[in-house]
Amino acid sequence: MRIIRKDQVATPIRAPLGEEIFELIGRSDELGATVKHSLAYVVVPPGSRSPAHYHKESEETYYIVDGEARLRIDGDEHHVVGGDACLIVPPEVHEIVSVGTGNLEFLVISAPAWVPTDTYEVSE
């Protein structure tokens, strides 16, 4: 069993467009070495976003904890707020933009567990 808090993640992933990703459960030995799913806590400052990308393997569920965002999936835009959940399946192209006045905070559950080699950025 493994219990971890967001503030215990020693080296969050700091993405170039402003996302800060705290992988809580995942494939590394440090994270419990699970392969069937992963869990990340993501913080996106106002005006920042993820890059448009897709996955060939992993399904993702985004659960919005706090804030508001514009979530684009295969060109369709959706306004999401705290309490909303969204399923993203391969190979849907998706990106999320923080549009509120405070940070956007959300959980990402991936199955199978996310690996960097299954993220394919696209230019739009």
58-83 pLDDT, tens digit each? 999 999 999 999 999 999 999 999 99
To the question of pTM greater than 0.75 for the whole model, the response is: yes
3-state secondary structure 78-110: EEEECCCEEEECCCCCEEEEECCCCCEEEEEEE
Q: What DSSP element (H or E) covers 77?
A: strand 76-81
Could you report the per-residue pLDDT of 82-118, keeping only the tens digit for each? 999 999 999 999 999 999 999 999 999 999 999 889 9
Identify the structural domains of the chain with CATH numbers, from first to last: 46-102+116-124 (2.60.120.10)
Are the CB atoms for 104 and 63 separated by under 8 Å?
no
